[in-house]
Protein backbone atom coordinates (compact mmCIF):
# COMPACT_ATOMS: atom_id res chain seq x y z
CA UNK A 1 0.00 0.00 0.00
CA UNK A 2 0.97 3.57 -0.58
CA UNK A 3 1.99 5.90 2.26
CA UNK A 4 -0.17 8.70 0.84
CA UNK A 5 -3.35 7.24 2.31
CA UNK A 6 -3.87 4.53 4.87
CA UNK A 7 -6.55 1.91 5.21
CA UNK A 8 -7.62 3.74 8.38
CA UNK A 9 -8.00 7.00 6.41
CA UNK A 10 -10.29 5.26 3.94
CA UNK A 11 -12.28 3.65 6.77
CA UNK A 12 -12.63 7.07 8.44
CA UNK A 13 -13.90 8.71 5.23
CA UNK A 14 -16.29 5.80 4.70
CA UNK A 15 -17.70 6.31 8.21
CA UNK A 16 -18.11 10.05 7.55
CA UNK A 17 -20.01 9.19 4.35
CA UNK A 18 -22.12 6.63 6.26
CA UNK A 19 -20.75 3.83 4.09
CA UNK A 20 -20.29 0.31 5.33
CA UNK A 21 -17.27 -1.28 3.64
CA UNK A 22 -16.04 -4.85 3.87
CA UNK A 23 -12.36 -5.60 4.48
CA UNK A 24 -11.98 -6.49 0.80
CA UNK A 25 -13.57 -3.19 -0.25
CA UNK A 26 -11.38 -1.23 2.18
CA UNK A 27 -8.24 -2.82 0.72
CA UNK A 28 -9.40 -2.22 -2.85
CA UNK A 29 -10.43 1.40 -2.25
CA UNK A 30 -7.25 2.14 -0.34
CA UNK A 31 -5.17 0.94 -3.30
CA UNK A 32 -7.35 2.81 -5.79
CA UNK A 33 -7.22 6.06 -3.84
CA UNK A 34 -3.46 5.71 -3.38
CA UNK A 35 -3.10 5.32 -7.16
CA UNK A 36 -5.25 8.40 -7.74
CA UNK A 37 -3.25 10.45 -5.25
CA UNK A 38 -0.01 9.26 -6.83
CA UNK A 39 -1.25 10.39 -10.24
CA UNK A 40 -2.29 13.75 -8.77
CA UNK A 41 1.23 14.12 -7.32
CA UNK A 42 2.69 13.40 -10.77
CA UNK A 43 0.52 16.16 -12.24
CA UNK A 44 1.42 18.50 -9.40
CA UNK A 45 5.12 17.98 -10.17
CA UNK A 46 4.76 19.27 -13.73
CA UNK A 47 6.22 22.70 -14.48
CA UNK A 48 3.24 24.59 -15.87
CA UNK A 49 4.55 28.09 -15.25
CA UNK A 50 4.52 28.95 -18.96
CA UNK A 51 1.24 27.20 -19.78
CA UNK A 52 -1.78 29.48 -19.94
CA UNK A 53 -4.92 28.27 -18.18
CA UNK A 54 -7.55 27.01 -20.55
CA UNK A 55 -10.96 25.37 -20.42
CA UNK A 56 -10.23 23.21 -23.47
CA UNK A 57 -7.04 21.85 -25.02
CA UNK A 58 -7.98 23.06 -28.51
CA UNK A 59 -8.59 26.68 -29.53
CA UNK A 60 -12.31 26.32 -30.20
CA UNK A 61 -14.68 29.04 -31.22
CA UNK A 62 -18.45 28.78 -31.33
CA UNK A 63 -19.01 25.51 -33.16
CA UNK A 64 -22.78 25.85 -33.39
CA UNK A 65 -24.44 26.91 -36.57
CA UNK A 66 -26.44 30.13 -36.64
CA UNK A 67 -29.98 29.64 -35.44
CA UNK A 68 -31.92 30.77 -38.48
CA UNK A 69 -35.56 29.95 -39.13
CA UNK A 70 -36.01 27.50 -41.96
CA UNK A 71 -38.88 26.36 -44.06
CA UNK A 72 -41.92 25.34 -42.04
CA UNK A 73 -42.82 21.64 -42.02
CA UNK A 74 -46.21 20.30 -43.01
CA UNK A 75 -47.79 19.63 -39.61
CA UNK A 76 -50.60 17.54 -41.07
CA UNK A 77 -48.10 15.26 -42.83
CA UNK A 78 -46.23 14.53 -39.61
CA UNK A 79 -49.34 14.19 -37.46
CA UNK A 80 -50.75 11.71 -40.00
CA UNK A 81 -47.88 9.33 -39.19
CA UNK A 82 -48.42 9.52 -35.41
CA UNK A 83 -50.05 6.60 -33.59
CA UNK A 84 -52.25 9.06 -31.66
CA UNK A 85 -52.97 12.77 -31.94
CA UNK A 86 -54.64 15.02 -29.40
CA UNK A 87 -55.27 18.78 -29.74
CA UNK A 88 -53.26 18.87 -32.98
CA UNK A 89 -50.18 17.43 -31.17
CA UNK A 90 -48.52 14.03 -30.81
CA UNK A 91 -50.10 12.14 -27.92
CA UNK A 92 -47.56 10.18 -25.88
CA UNK A 93 -47.88 8.01 -22.78
CA UNK A 94 -47.38 9.78 -19.45
CA UNK A 95 -43.70 9.92 -18.48
CA UNK A 96 -44.21 8.84 -14.88
CA UNK A 97 -47.23 6.63 -15.33
CA UNK A 98 -49.54 9.41 -14.16
CA UNK A 99 -52.77 10.14 -15.93
CA UNK A 100 -54.27 13.57 -16.30
List the CATH number of the domain containing 21: 1.10.20
Residue 33 sits in which domain range? 7-44
Alpha helices in the chain (DSSP H): 7-16, 23-44, 75-80
6 close to 30: Cβ distance less than 8 angstroms: yes
**Structural domain includes residue 25:** yes
**Residues paired with residue 85 on neighbouring β-strands, in sequence order:** 90
**Structural domain includes residue 17:** yes
Give the span between the Cα atoms of 53 and 46, in whole angstroms.
14
99 close to 92: Cβ distance less than 8 angstroms: no
Taking only the tens place, the pLDDT of each residue in 20-48 is 999 999 999 999 999 999 999 999 999 99
**Structural domain includes residue 39:** yes
85 close to 91: Cβ distance less than 8 angstroms: yes
Looking at the structure of the chain, the number of domains it has is 1
pLDDT confidence band for 58 (50 / 70 / 90):
confident
**Structural domain includes residue 19:** yes
Question: What pLDDT is stored for residue 21 in this prediction?
Answer: 95
**Structural domain includes residue 70:** no
Amino acid sequence: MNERISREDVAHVARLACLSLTDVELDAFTNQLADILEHAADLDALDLETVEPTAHPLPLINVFRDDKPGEAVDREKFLASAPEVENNQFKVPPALGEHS
